[in-house]
Structures are given as C-alpha cells and as structure tokens.
Amino acid sequence: MSDETIDDTDGTDVDAATEPEPEPKRTLTVTVDGRPFEAQPGSMVIDAAIAAGSYVPHFCYHPRMTPVGMCRQCFVEVDGPRGPMMVVSCMTPVAEGQVVRTDTPQVKRAQEGVLELLLVNHPLDCPVCDKGGECPLQDQAFSHGPGESRFVEQKRHWEKPIPISDLVFLDRERCIQCDRCTRFADEVAGDKLIHFISRGNDTQVMTFPDEPFSSYFSGNTVQICPVGALTASPYRFKARPWDLDQRASTCTTCSVGCRTVVQSTRDELVRYQGLDVESVNWGWLCDRGRFNFESIGSDDRLTTPLVRGESGLEPTSWTGALGAAARLVTEALESGGPRSIGILGGARGTNEDAFAWAALADALGVTLRDAQVGDGLPTEVLGLPRATITDAANAPTIVLLGPDLKEELPVLYLRLRDAAEKRRSRIVELSSVGTGLSRYAWKRFPYEPGLGAQAVSAALADPEVRDQLARGPVVVVAGRGNLAESQEVATATLASLLDGLTGAGASWSVLPALRRGNVVGALQLGMAPSEGAGGGLDVLRAAAEGRLELLVLVGSDPMADCPDTDLARRALAGARRIVAVDTFLTASSEQADVVLAAAAYGEKDGTTTNLEGRVSGVVAKVTATGTSRPDWMIATELGLALGHDLGFGSVDDVTDAIATRVPAYAGVTRTAVARNVEGVLTEAPLAFLPPASSSAGERNNYDYRLVVSRTLYDRAVGTATSPSLAHLAPGPAALVHPLDLELVGVSAGTEVQLVGARSSVVLPLHTDATVPRGTVRVRFQQGGGSVGELVDASTPIVDVRIERL
C-alpha cells in the first residue's frame, strides 16, 4: 500500500479556512446614485450597484467567475482623492464611504463609446442568430448604446460557424472576446481546451488543432456567452427566444439535482438552462443533463400500454392493460401471497411516483422492494449524519470513497474541484483507479479492489492525515467506485472508514454519492427494503430461484442497471410474470407481460429529492407522449382496480400526503417547494450501517482484479435516445496500465478475451496510466461485450485473466 502526496506547488495553505473568523463580518456603506447601500466587504462595485438597484451594463463580468475587466462596458464614476474618476466597476472593490454614480453624462458617454467599439466588428446578423431576442449585446446596445455607428469600413470576417466540439459551434465574427467561455473552461471546469489564440488584431477563441472542446461542461459556455458566438447543436435554429415558454424545474439525470429552466416551444422540449442556486449547481449543468431532453421527444418512446399476446407485446387500451396488470397481481397474491411479489424501482421518477407505488405496495402487503438493484449502498447510509454539498465544499477535509464524481455526479465534481482549487478543502481520495478529482487530491490512497479497508488504515495512520482531520469537519463522499466489488465490501470499507474517523476524533458527516436521479427520494419515501426483507439483489435472487410470482419494474431496468447481468437475466426469466412501468422498451421491460407507458421527465409535475435530501420541484412542460401517464397515477389506478383506494386524485394530493405522513418530509409542503428556489432540506431518521464483512480472496499471478466504473456517456436509455449524445459514449473497452499491455503482448486496440470465473467477454484492450498494474478497468454499460457478464454480485471481488484471441 503506497500513498502519493500531491504537492501544493505554490505552498499556500488551507489553514486560514479553518481558523475562526477574527471578528464578525461587517458591511461597508457605499453610496450608489445618492442612495446609501450596505455592501459585502470584498465584493465589487458592480455587485453593489446592481444590488442597490442601479443596473450597470456588462458582458465579461460573471458573478461565478473571477473578474477580468475585458469588455470595459461597466464603467462607473467613483469619487477619488482627485475628484470623480471613471473605473471599471467589475474590477473595483467596494470601500467604506465610496460614492458611486452610474448615470452621469460621462458614464453614459463611456458606455456608448465602448458599445460602438464592440459593435465595430460584430456582424449584426441578429435576424438569423439564435441569441437574437435574449442577447445581452443586443439588449444593451438598445439600452446603453449610441444608436448609430460611425464605422463605415469593412468588418472583420471569419469562416462561420465552425464546430469546436460535437455539441458546440463557434462563430468568431460574433465574438466580443469577453473571456467568459475560456475562463469557464479554465476556472470552473478545469478543461483548458479553448484559449485565446493569435492575440492582437486577430484574437479568437480556438481549440488546439484536432483537439476539440470535448468538455463534459461545454454547454455552460453556450449559456453564459453574452453574444451568439457559441451555439449548441441540439438547439441551433430550433426556436426564437420569444417563442419559448419556460418553467423552473430540477434535473433528475443524476442525484445532484441541479436546478434548471425547462424551455419548450410548440409543445416540444428544446432547451434546458442552468438556474443559479447557491446550494447546488451555481448555474452550471453537465452536458448530459443539459442535452438529454432529446430523449423525451424520441420516436422510440412508448405511446400506449402493451400486453403480451399471441405475437408478443401488443398495444392495448389503458383499461385493458390495467385490468391485465391487476389480474397478474391478484393471481400472484392468490397463489403465493404478498411474499411472492417483488417491486423494483422508483429512483427514476418523482417523489410522488415513488410514494404512490410504496403506498400500493403497503396496501398489498408487499415487502420485497427496493429502488436500487445492487448498484448502490444500503439504505441505512441515508440515516448517517448527512452533509450537504455546501458542507462538503466548505469542509477542511473531504474524503472520497466512491465513484468518479466527474463521470457520475458532474456538478458535484465542479463544486468539490472549486473547493480544492480555492484551497478551502483538502481532498483525500481512496480509490482503485484514478478519477477526475485525482489531480486535485491532496493525498491519494490507491487500493486493490476488495482491499479498501487496508487503504483506510493506511490513510488514518498517516500523521499528516491525522493532523488534517483535526482541523474541522470531515465530509465523506460515499458511493460505489467499483461495481465489480460487492455492495457488502463497499459497505464494510465505508464502515471501517467511519469507525476510523470516529476513533481519530474527527467530526464527520456523509454525502451519499448514489447516482440515480431520485434514488434518495425513493428510498426515503418507502421504496427501500423493509427490515429483514432484503434489498434489490435479494428480490432478483428470489425471482431467479423461481420464488416470485410477479416482478414489478417501476422504471427499473435490471438488465442495464444491475452490475450482475447474469443474475438480472435469470431473474427476468425466473419471475413467473412481469409488469413493467417504463418510458421505453428496455432490455428488461421488453420481457414483461404488461408494459404500462409512463410519462417522462418534463411531462409530469412533482418533486424530487437530491443526494443531500433536498426536495425541489419538477414540472410538466409538455404534453405526455401518446397516452402515457405518470407513475403515481398508474399506481393509483392499479390500486383502484385491485380494490385499494390510495386516495390520490391529483399529484398535489400525493405531495400533500407525503408532507402529512412522512415525518422527514413534514416541511415539504407545496408552498415551501414553490417558494424556495434552493429547495427544502429533509432529514432521514438516524440509522447505522448494517454489519458487513469483506474478505477478498487471494488471487494468483495471472489474474487481473476487475474495476467496473461508469462514464458520463454510456448506452443508458436517456443518452442512447438523445441523438446529440448517443455517439459520445466512448464505447466498450478494457483499460490496463501501459506496462500490463506489454505484458499481455498486444498492441492497443486489439480485442482480447477477459475470462472470469463464470463467463468471458471480448473487449478491445487499451491503456490508461491511471489504472494500477494488476488491475483492469472496464467501463460499465457501453454496449459490446457486456462486462456485467463477468460480475458476480455474490462474490466480494472479480478476478479475470486477459487472454489473447
């Protein structure tokens, strides 16, 4: 076991962050256009002026990024020792007694002058520009510009537009060089793939030749571009801003729960924009969350319920389908009782969906249920002292024991990266392979799959780590970094870490890095396994062993989600009957006897719970596809067909019922959710991790230990049915250390056979220097030879041989 120390190259320290504030923060009194205003020390004049109600035009300034003073549009007049002077308000900090004027003739003249210069080379192709109508340059040219240009010469010309990535187009003629996109790529995303080149008369934003701006966060540059220079291919020429209708919502692509604005035109979703909320996403979105609206309007969506007949699944009416489903439930109850029914799912829907299905399960007495299928952690993890994202981003120490956040929870990655870069936090990473945050980690403790407990011991024995833990709160980001390591092992490793932290006297809390959109909400609202009933894997095992009369899949797709593909396959084959509620026909739902077409995100109202336990609203923006219905409604109607009135007449009834019946959600009223853009925090009842033991066996010298991890773009339904994203999946591959590639004796890209104890798959072999020797990493759910065939959920770890074909 070795540890690597990543040096702080500039030698600064995070000590300052942990020391108590020497004195309470006070405000500074400034005068803006004659009105006194209490400004925060350290803020800029532009912040104070705008907050005081005097709008200052600006392009380059963005409150979430370092001011650079590029555009010079935000001139104001400030009284100085030698009288009034013009200053760039985004670069001037507020000071006590400062007198600011934003409306003098001098200021007006400066603003007009700057705008005239900015427009010198701007093409004014507003009628054909996507930004026209919502363009800061257009708006401010009207409100603060000179009205006429004196420029009669030829404007600068560039080829337009050029793709700088698969998703983003760049029009250099429209660009005003505000440095927002390049600053975003550098400061916020850490993907410095775009840069100003040929600085001078020909300054332009550009990538390195043949190295596209393939950032997971590229869509944000389009959103913050103050002109139409950057446009995103999924939205280009789809709508004019004045034809867009929008509502605030929450992204449910992963469990971070970024606040969004969902925009549609002519009953079609066309764009999501990030909403700036302090507690979660700061206005940012990942590209998967931003562009997967395409899947909602996909032609492959289920439009009607299906019932299995003579020639397979056939479209039918809702009455017919619900009747068929109710008959299957009744038969199962009659022949095997409630113990012969298993329900999986809820994590892909709203809180209301999960709650209604849990209520139906309660009414039927069904205890076998789970929102996870062996791809997460035990529900009890939610009952540990919970940290918020902000807690994590302000904690002196962040311990990562889980997935690659850049791949699975991208905006959480941005927040934690920011914490490390701004030196508020030090990151201690425990993982088997390198992750997106590895380069920002203060210390890394790599471990061989299955031996996480040893890395925990090594980390806690490190004197520097112990000193660091004493500096204040410690937030553990806990999840599943390796789907080939059993849930039992992951739980045991987490338990040993938490015990160790307690032993070291650290005050710790946990941020659960479970991935699926509403997994936390589903688990908190009754889709968690009840005590002694066993979790999702046990439901699948029961089905595989023929003990289930009926398996109900509520948006769950075990064939894709369960790491153990063989178990999922046997479960679907072994369950006597299957009822699926789904938006698409997936590898799982296509095996069902009854498929109930569900309304998707953007088609139904409700609430969702993110990984912090924060509840915020999701909205119906477009009409549901075909006759599809929200999951909660399906549960309610199925209940009625079975003689159980769940008492829900509308989605609001369900939201109200949650607030009344679930203690943790008592504060989650409709009014509270509607009023708080930041959402409403819930707390799960205190719980303790179940006892778990890990025992990774010895391996022989020929074996590689398997790491199965997710990537942002994969063959999941939401990405596969979004044409703009589908081709971004990196594709199936096995990754080994470059020296191991030599050992195998093939060249990179050659197909090899990975032979496990139960099965073998063929995958192209590539190198990845972040994979330690003796380990092979395979990306999950990439099509091709499914790595799930190698994973056995009942063994702690998976060892494979790599054989040449």
Partner 1 sequence: MPRLTDANVTIAKEIIGRYPRPKSALIPILHLAQEQDGYVSEDAMRHIAELLGITPAEVYGTATFYEMFKFEPVGRYCINVCTNISCQLLGAWELLEHAEHHLGIKAGSTTDDGMFTIEDVECIAACTEAPALQVNYRYRYRVTHAEFDLLIADLRAGGLADEIPPHGTLARVRQRTPQNWADTGRTAQAEVDAR
Residues engaged in binding partner 1 (CB under 8 A): 9-10, 191-200, 206-211
Nearer to partner 1, 107 or 189 (CB): 189
Minimum CB distance to partner 1, residue 775 (Å): 24
Cα–Cα distance list, 72 to 56, 64, 107, 245 (Å) = 11, 18, 12, 33
**Exposure of 705 in the CB half-sphere (CA atoms within 13 A):** 23
Nearer to partner 1, 65 or 641 (CB): 65
Q: β-pairing, 760-767 with 194-197? A: unpaired
Minimum CB distance to partner 1, residue 214 (Å): 12
Calpha distance 333→322 (Å, rounded): 16
Minimum CB distance to partner 1, residue 215 (Å): 11
Q: Is 352 exposed, middle or buried (0-12, 13-18, 19+ CB in 10 A)?
A: buried
Minimum CB distance to partner 1, residue 205 (Å): 10
What lies within 8 Å, CB to CB, of 85 at 6+ separation is: 77, 78, 79
Minimum CB distance to partner 1, residue 751 (Å): 28
Minimum CB distance to partner 1, residue 164 (Å): 10
Can you tell me whether residue 634 is helix, strand or coil? helix
Nearer to partner 1, 186 or 380 (CB): 186
Other beta carbons within 10 angstroms of residue 747's beta carbon come to: 9
Asked whether 618 and 601 are in contact (CB, 8 A), the reply is yes
Minimum CB distance to partner 1, residue 162 (Å): 15
Minimum CB distance to partner 1, residue 163 (Å): 15
Nearer to partner 1, 78 or 205 (CB): 205
DSSP 592: -
Calpha distance 145→113 (Å, rounded): 8
Nearer to partner 1, 434 or 450 (CB): 434
Nearer to partner 1, 203 or 650 (CB): 203
Nearer to partner 1, 197 or 666 (CB): 197
DSSP 525: I
Q: Given its phi and psi angles, is residue 643 left (phi above 0), alpha (psi -120 to 50 degrees) or beta?
A: left
Cα–Cα distance list, 15 to 299, 391, 467, 474, 507 (Å) = 55, 17, 11, 15, 17
Nearer to partner 1, 21 or 210 (CB): 210
Minimum CB distance to partner 1, residue 178 (Å): 16
Minimum CB distance to partner 1, residue 182 (Å): 8
Other beta carbons within 10 angstroms of residue 266's beta carbon come to: 10
152's tokens: 């009669």
15-19 long-range contacts (CB < 8 A, ≥24 apart) are 15/471, 17/394, 17/396, 17/423, 17/424, 17/425, 18/396, 18/471, 18/472
Full DSSP string of 223-271: HH-SSSSEEETTTTTT--GGG-EEEEEE--SSTT--EEEEEEETTEEEE
Nearer to partner 1, 199 or 758 (CB): 199
